[in-house]
Copies of this chain bind each other. A is one copy, B any other.
């Protein structure tokens, strides 16, 4: 091979650059990593050669020396069928990715059926040194993953409320604020009988929201609260709606813990011959395109999920650089976006259809 070119079919290494630039491999490493130890002139020459032959560091070699995988892991613990209906995950992925790829950190993704599998995956990644840290989502009130991550000393970011007794940084938002906004709004419209269709009972944030709902009912002196527990699926959302709306003391408004159930409720209302919003107001505690895809569009609590993901990624990256505990960060609370699915209850409206007095 003439002139010491780079071998075919073999990606360039630091040794190639050293040869072409007439320096030692060590000097190349210093130059390319912007560290002292090489003159500006030499550095420029080395960088030029590296650019020319399109050199990129072999991550395996780098990982081996610096003990950094330059990757973080995320195990989504969900059953396949329910996965993907809520746009939440893809939006979060997009946000995470935006921040991670800018930092040259790869995202390893795995889908697991339950916490045991998720924990096994995290253990495996960590033992193989595939990852430098993990992102934990869908947090339970007493989440077994948190203990495992703490025990193994894996840097992590919690997407959700900070866990009591844990130093893991969390990225969270004030759920109460959103719930209050919904309840205040419905009450202002004249609703006094408002039901709450909750998501997975094991999730910490389900608990927080239910508490906020109960507090709001109390604060406003509304009719007795009703909470139905579900697993976030369409089927259970439909079932909850049917049960609530066929009871003697049916509510005039129902708040659903996610977009899927709220949208599904529209179908059930139609099935029961009920008009939305005249006979029933519907609110989704999690907004998405789903809510505007239907008619009437569904009033929802909205927030920038991609930005939330970016903040989570940023926090994990900061944690990796810090080599020690860092504080949690609070994201913006959700904002209420009123749409066609909410209105004053029928009994509270004037015959001519004018607006009811706000209380």
User: When the two chains form their complex, are residues B89 and A84 in contact, meaning their CB atoms are under 8 A apart?
Assistant: yes
Q: What's the Cα separation between A90 and B89 when bound, in Å?
A: 8
User: Interface size (A, Cβ < 8 Å)?
Assistant: 60
- Chain B minimum-CB-distance residue to A259: B293
Given A57-B128, A69-B60, A84-B88, A267:B288 Cβ within 8 A: no
User: When the two chains form their complex, are residues A129 and B90 in contact, meaning their CB atoms are under 8 A apart?
Assistant: no
Given A58-B64, A60-B129, A84:B80 Cβ within 8 A: no
Q: A203-227 vs B: 1/0 string, CB under 8 Å?
A: 0000000000000000000000000
Chain A 258-299 interface residues, beta-carbon cutoff 8 Å to B: 260, 263-264, 266-267, 270-271, 288-290, 292-295, 297
Chain B residues positioned under 8 Å from A289 (CB to CB): 84-85, 234, 260
User: When the two chains form their complex, are residues B295 and A293 in contact, meaning their CB atoms are under 8 A apart?
Assistant: no
Chain B residues positioned under 8 Å from A202 (CB to CB): none
Question: How close is A295's CB to chain B, nearest CB, in angstroms?
Answer: 4
Q: In this assembly, does A332 line the interface, its C-beta being within 8 Å of a C-beta of chain B?
A: no
User: When the two chains form their complex, are residues B266 and A294 in contact, meaning their CB atoms are under 8 A apart?
Assistant: yes
Q: In this assembly, does A101 line the interface, its C-beta being within 8 Å of a C-beta of chain B?
A: yes
Q: What's the Cα separation between A278 and B349 when bound, in Å?
A: 33
Q: What's the Cα separation between A71 and B110 when bound, in Å?
A: 12
> Of A91-99, A182-190, A318-326, which binds chain B?
A91-99
Chain B residues positioned under 8 Å from A294 (CB to CB): 263, 266-267, 293-294
User: When the two chains form their complex, are residues A128 and B56 in contact, meaning their CB atoms are under 8 A apart?
Assistant: yes
Chain A 50-88 interface residues, beta-carbon cutoff 8 Å to B: 54-61, 63-64, 69, 71, 80, 83-85, 87-88
User: When the two chains form their complex, are residues A292 and B234 in contact, meaning their CB atoms are under 8 A apart?
Assistant: yes
User: When the two chains form their complex, are residues B109 and A109 in contact, meaning their CB atoms are under 8 A apart?
Assistant: yes
User: When the two chains form their complex, are residues B107 and A110 in contact, meaning their CB atoms are under 8 A apart?
Assistant: yes
Chain B residues positioned under 8 Å from A89 (CB to CB): 84, 90
Chain B residues positioned under 8 Å from A59 (CB to CB): 60, 63, 69, 128-130
Chain B residues positioned under 8 Å from A292 (CB to CB): 234
Known: A80-B98, A80-B306. 18 other contacts (CB 8 A): A55-B127, A58-B64, A58-B128, A59-B130, A71-B108, A80-B95, A83-B94, A84-B94, A84-B288, A85-B87, A97-B110, A101-B110, A101-B121, A107-B108, A234-B289, A263-B293, A267-B297, A271-B295
A residues apposed to B, CB below 8 Å: 9, 11, 54-61, 63-64, 69, 71, 80, 83-85, 87-91, 93-95, 97-98, 101, 106-111, 121, 124-125, 127-130, 153, 234, 260, 263-264, 266-267, 270-271, 288-290, 292-295, 297, 306
